[in-house]
A = this chain, B = another copy of it.
Amino acid sequence: MSSIRDVARIAGVSVATVSRALSMPEKVSAESLEKVHAAIAQVDYKPNMLARNFRSARSYAVVVLVPDIANPFYSLFIRALEDRAQQKGYAVLLGDTRGTHERELEYIRRVETRLADGIIQLRPSSEKSLNNIPADIPCVNACGCEYTTGPAIRIDNRAAAKTMVDYLISLGHKRIGVISGLKDNPHTVDRLEGYKDALRSAGIEFDRDLIAEGDFTMWSGLNAAFQFCNMKNRPTAVFSMNDEMAIGAMQTLKAQGIRIPEDMSITGFDDIAYAKYCDPSLTTISQPAEEMGKMAMDMLLRIIEGEPLSQTECVLPTEFIIRKSTAPVKIS
């Protein structure tokens, strides 16, 4: 196995220069850096990067806190985050919190003890919702909401929800059910405001009985849909706050003999891969998850490296996608 001395000898520089080239490349001339890298490649030297980490008090790793890795919406984010981190020489430490604060705290501890340099948060957070992350830890929310404090990338959840419900109203629907996420989830709050905005614009009164609570899983959507099946005055359309709950709800509706979209329209949110493949394919809102992930990672690495941020919040546009799960209301 080749040593740092071999590299120094071949590059024609001192051992200290090789060491600096590995741990603080910004302090080495471009010319020396090139010689060192060429020599490393020539002798296939495998530096102990733990020494670099120790000297620079940097782990070159970032924790990604994800509420549920089994949700395909998050995998799109994670893929973009990992890709960007890799390009910049950082590793992604996966923090599947399963929605618990205890597991979030364990991962925050990793940053506090220097095993990671910062955090990407995928759980939406707001001032009202519990936010565990101490202010001195570099952190960016890649999936923020209207009230997220600190650096965040987000979409305009309220406006996107309004667009969707406006569309259902334009198809003649007046009784529009909602399958929401958990009541205190900031995305639920924002999207519910958008739903109410649309009703208000159209002069339709808000009816609390039309809100069925889920938790963003397919199973919860399947259960929530029963609330609508059993109603005397059934909604003719359902706005689900994500695609997974819409896909779960479809199974209940079909099993009850309710045809989609002839008897009931249904819409989702996120545009996960399955939204195109479910039957009927799902009208939904597409979030630019890849772009959001990249921007969030760039923002976090700037914070970690002490560079100034030009902006601490970035709101990206969504896309409204009409597929086959929606139709004009039946005239009965």
Contact = CB atoms under 8 A, between A and B. Distances in A.
Interface stretch (A107-115, A140-148, A205-213): A107-115
A271 interface: no
Contacts of A222: 277
Interface string A85-114: 010000111111000000100100110111
A248 B93 CA distance: 32
A227 interface: no
A182 interface: no
Given A53-B54, A70-B72, A251-B279, A46 B79 contact: no
A47 interface: yes
A273 B78 CA distance: 19
Contact of A69 (B60, B79, B96, B250): B79
A128 interface: no
A50 interface: yes
A113 B48 contact: yes
A241 B247 CA distance: 23
A57 interface: yes
A278 interface: yes
A70 B61 contact: no
A223 interface: no
Contacts of A70: 72, 75-76, 79, 273
Interface residues of A, number: 51
A59 interface: yes
Number of copies: 2
Nearest to A93: B91
B273 A112 contact: no
B50 A93 contact: no
Contact of A50 (B46, B59, B86): B59
A226 interface: no
A48 B53 contact: no
Contacts of A92: 93-94
Interface centre among A57, A70, A116 (most CB of B within 10 A): A70
Given A75-B70, A96-B83, A54 B50 contact: yes
Contacts of A315: none
Interface in A64-82: 64, 69-70, 72, 75-76, 78-79, 82
Contacts of A91: 61, 93-94, 110, 115-116
A247 B251 CA distance: 15
